[in-house]
Amino acid sequence: MQAVSADFGIKDALKQLGLKDINEGTSTGSNNFGSGELIASYSPTDGQLIGKVSTTTKDDYEKVIQAAQDAFLMFRAMPAPQRGEIVRQFGNKLRELKEPLGKLVSYEMGKSLQEGYGEVQEMIDICDFAVGLSRQLNGQTIPSERPGHVMREQWHSLGVVGIISAFNFPVAVWAWNTALAWVCGDTCIWKASEKAPLCAVACQNIIAEVLKDNNLPEGISCIINGDYKVGEFMTTDHRIPLISATGSTRMGRIVGAKVAERFGKSLLELGGNNAIIITPTADLKVVVPGAVFGAVGTCGQRCTSTRRLIIHESVYNKVRDAIVGAYKQLTIGNPLDEKNHIGPLIDKDAVNTYLAAIEKAKAEGGNVLVEGGVLEGEGYESGCYVKPAIIEAKNDFEIVQSETFAPILYLMKYSGDVEQAIAMQNGVAQGLSSAIMTNEMKEAEKFLSFAGSDCGIANVNIGTSGAEIGGAFGGEKETGGGRESGSDAWKIYMRRQTNTINYSDELPLAQGIKFDL
Ligand code: UN1
């Protein structure tokens, strides 16, 4: 670790974030009661041990939930704009620490430094959004059918929110949830991915300082560490009214069922299988960067990553050649070095999944246009660096139908009108993000209409990834149906109450029912 940290300032970043490095001991996060075994965090960039984090036992968990429940009782009584002030301070701390936190994200997770900074920016943006929201948690007044009556809708704080997040966005997805949950008056318990535990501890340290400065209990923000078993403490716990879970469809199926069994609410943000439709009028200047960033950004490990290009046959060769040409410009290497576009996959398991997917695509009849493979030699010692691959394939290949979290882009042709392309784009089990590249207004509007894309996100002349926080984020079908981040996604973090108030001297019943005594 020493050599790399000296090069890219990682050691300094760890210090600024209050993390101990391997020579100093174990990081726990200030509100983590973790007394279980240690998780070691290795960087996929250089294979070095970055630090260790202690895991949460069942007994520890009981202390955490107690702290979160106690904190909830005071936090929900605090006026929402004052809670917004806490989130404002948190956002400011993130502004101060954008560089070290972005570096840690890049080093622990492997995404390019630019994307690491982008992730922290996304946290700052959602904090700003939530601050404004803290004065807009408005209910409505509804006309009553009865004289001398009025109906009202109110939004009350929900309780303790459980957050389960994935390795690929190790800090931003937590912030999407917490920034909203906090202004709504909820307290949070976060189980981060065991593949990026130090990012979680760093975030906890930052919010802990803000809470301390404001004499607020740290139970407002808690972390628990460990594998899926630790997540299960939350999914089966009736004291947690909402579980927000981001990850694979496989995970979501289990979590969703467990939470539903106890009538909890769940917000699921699961797998995607995102396509860009490229029509005859598409502008290559827009198509190439949109498709390439979508496919190789975060080394193909975004849930919004572009997996399929559905290209009209009349422009197929031109588009194919332009994309294949652009792949030749890509540089792969240490993501902390800003000259590289692409860092490593998260670990060797992910490398094996990537290799198996390429083999499967070939076995199903795919035609490889850009060879994949694992990079070896100087700078690639971690064994996690792979080459982004492009394969001509058919939409109904089994491998094309499933999400592989890796930089593999499938190219396919359509020959008819845009409806045919839309049917192909919709012809998968997932429904997160989608895009069309066109200068034809009618095609764009058809794609966005009720008969168009069936995804939660449908874009025109931009790629499938890189959504802004202002819109609701999430998708349909096997993506799980949840919406987080912007728009009115805050409503799931609150409980809705309908009030009917009678200010008359009579008691008329609704629906005109007579009940005379
Ligand atoms: C994810 O991959 O889980 O739209 C989230 C995007 C990012 C968020 C991705 N803003 O690509």
User: Where does residue 402 rank: exposed (0-12), middle (13-18), buried (19+ CB within 10 A)?
Assistant: middle
Q: How far is the CA of 298 from the centre of ligand 1 (A)?
A: 10
Over residues 62-88, mean pLDDT: 97
Architecture of domain 6-270+483-496: 3-Layer(aba) Sandwich (3.40)
Q: How far is the CA of 463 from the centre of ligand 1 (A)?
A: 12
* From 108, 119, 122, 269, the catalytic residue: 269
Residue 492 DSSP class? G
Task: Compute the 3-state secondary structure of the chain and give helix, strand, coil in percent, each to the nearest 5.
Answer: 40, 20, 40
- Break the chain into its structural domains and give their ranges: 6-270+483-496, 274-472
Coil/strand/helix, residue 255: helix
Q: Is the CB of 465 under 6 A from ligand 1?
A: yes
For the four alpha carbons of 115, 121, 125 and 126, in that order, the dihedral sign comes to positive
Give the tens place of pLDDT for each residue, 474-507.
999 999 999 999 999 999 999 999 999 999 999 9
Give the tens place of pLDDT for each residue, 411-433.
999 999 999 999 999 999 999 99
Question: Using 50, 70 and 90 to split pLDDT, how confident is the model at 98?
Answer: very high
Q: What is the pLDDT, as a whole number, of residue 382?
A: 97
Give percent of the chain with pLDDT exceeding 70.
96
**269 counts as catalytic:** yes
**Smallest CA separation from ligand 1 atom 3, residue:** 303
CATH annotation of 274-472: 3.40.309.10
Integer-rounded Cα radius of gyration of the chain = 24
The pTM assigned to this predicted structure is: 0.96
Asked if residues 413 and 320 have their Cβ atoms less than 8 Å apart, the reply is no
Q: Is the CB of 466 under 6 A from ligand 1?
A: yes
What the block records as the tokens of 119 is 């992730």
Q: Is the CB of 83 under 6 A from ligand 1?
A: no
Which residue among 126, 129, 432, 465 has the greatest number of ligand 1 atoms within 8 angstroms of its CB, and so is best to mutate? 465
Residue 454 DSSP class? -
Q: What is the pLDDT, as a whole number, of residue 3?
A: 43
**Smallest CA separation from ligand 1 atom 7, residue:** 466
Coil/strand/helix, residue 124: helix
